Amino acid sequence: MGKTAAELIAQARAWLGCRESDGSHKKIIDIYNSHRPLARGYAVKYTDAWCAAFVSACAIKTGMTDIIPTECGCGEMVKLFRRLGEWNENDARVPKPGDIIFYDWQDNGSGDNTGNPDHVGIVEKVSGGMITVIEGNKNNAAGRRTLRVNGRYIRGYGVPKYDSIRQTASTPVMSVEQTAMDVIAGKYGNGDARKRAVTALGLNYAAVQKRVNEILKESTFPKKSVEEVAREAIAGRWGNGAQRKRKLMEAGYDYASVQKRVNELLRR
C-alpha cells in the first residue's frame, strides 16, 4: 500500500472519539511507546499531552515514519520536519489534506507567526477557505477543529513527501475544490497557462474557474476595512509584491483597493 495522505487521514478518523475519560486514548499512547527508536527515549504517560503522539501513532500505524517523524513534543517535531526538508514556514499557506498543521496559542495575529508550537494535528480537508483538522488531545480526546486558511494561531506546516496519489473512480488525483484553492494561491499562473495546467490534471477548466470565482466572492473571511488592511500591509503583515497580492486575494480582499490606499498613506 502506498504512502498517501488518504491512508494517514483514514487512520486519524479511525481514532476519532478516543478520549481520556474512558481510557480509550491509551491504545494510541501504547502504539507510540512501542515504536523504536523511541524519540528522546521518553515513554509518554497516559496523563501527558498527546497531540504529537497522536500524529506520530498515525504515522507508525500506516508505515510512514520515514516521512512523518515520530515525536511527543511539537517543537521537536518541527525540528525533525526541517531536517527532512518538509517544513513550510508560511502560516498563510493553503494546506493540502495530509499536511501536518502546528499551532502557537500565543500568536497575536499580526505578521508571520514564528513562536513556539503548542499543538499539532492532521489536515483532513480544505473547502471554501476553511481547514478541517483531526487532532489528538483536543479537549482531552481525538476530535476535529475547523479554522480559516491563514487563521490566527497557525504556526506552519509539516508537508510529508507522500507517494503520488493514485487516480481511482472514487478518489480523483485532484479535486476541483483543492485545485481552485491552488489557482488562487498562484500555483497555476494565469490565462492560457492556467488553462493548460488545469486541463493537464484531467479536470474541467470551466468548473475549476467557476469555483475560483465563487471562492473569491464568498464572504467567509473576517473583513476589515481597506484602511485597516492597508496599514497592516505597511507594517509588514501582508508581505510585499506578488506575495502581498496572493495573501490579500486568499483572504478575500480587493488587492487593487488595498494597494491604492497603501500608496496614498506612504505619500503623506
DSSP sequence for 61-84? HTT-TTTS---SSHHHHHHHHHHT
pLDDT band of residue 173 (cuts 50, 70, 90) is very low
Q: Give the pLDDT score at 198.
A: 81
The crossing angle, in degrees rounded to 10, of helices 176-184 and 191-200 is 150
Give the mean model confidence (pLDDT) for residues 220-227. Answer: 66
Three-state DSSP class for residue 153 = coil
pLDDT band of residue 251 (cuts 50, 70, 90) is low
Identify the residue with better confidence: 246 or 139: 139
Q: Which of 151, 159, 147, 152 is nearest to 95 (CA)?
A: 159
Using the predicted structure, report yes or no on whether residue 26 has a pLDDT greater than 70.
yes
Q: What CA–CA distance (Å, rounded) separates 74 from 242?
A: 31
Calculate the alpha carbon distances from 213 to 148, 186, 249 in Å: 18, 14, 11
Give the dihedral sign, CA 58/125/238/197: positive
Each residue's pLDDT tens digit, 81-140: 999 999 998 888 899 999 999 999 888 777 777 788 999 999 999 988 899 999 999 999
Q: What is the mean pLDDT of the chain?
A: 86
Neighbouring residues of 2: CB distance < 8 A, sequence distance ≥ 6: 162, 163, 164, 166
Calculate the alpha carbon distances from 45 to 30, 42, 53, 75 in Å: 9, 9, 11, 18
Q: Let me know if domain 5-158 sits in CATH 3.90.1720.
A: yes
Residues for the chain: how many in total? 268
Q: Give the pLDDT score at 171.
A: 43
Locate the domains of the chain by residue range: 5-158, 176-217, 226-266
Which residue spans within the chain are E strands per DSSP?
Answer: 87-88, 100-103, 119-127, 130-138, 141-148, 154-158
Give the dihedral sign, CA 196/199/205/209: negative
The residues that bridge with 154 in the sheet, in sequence order, are: 103
Q: Say if strands 87-88 and 154-158 run parallel, antiparallel, or are unpaired.
A: antiparallel
pLDDT band of residue 164 (cuts 50, 70, 90) is low
Give the mean model confidence (pLDDT) for residues 226-248. Answer: 85
Q: Give the pLDDT score at 170.
A: 39
Looking at the chain, the number of H-run helices and the number of E-run strands are 10, 6
pLDDT band of residue 250 (cuts 50, 70, 90) is low
pLDDT band of residue 219 (cuts 50, 70, 90) is very low
Q: What is the pTM of this model?
A: 0.62
pLDDT band of residue 60 (cuts 50, 70, 90) is very high
Each residue's pLDDT tens digit, 195-205: 888 887 777 88
CB 94 within 8 A of CB 185: yes
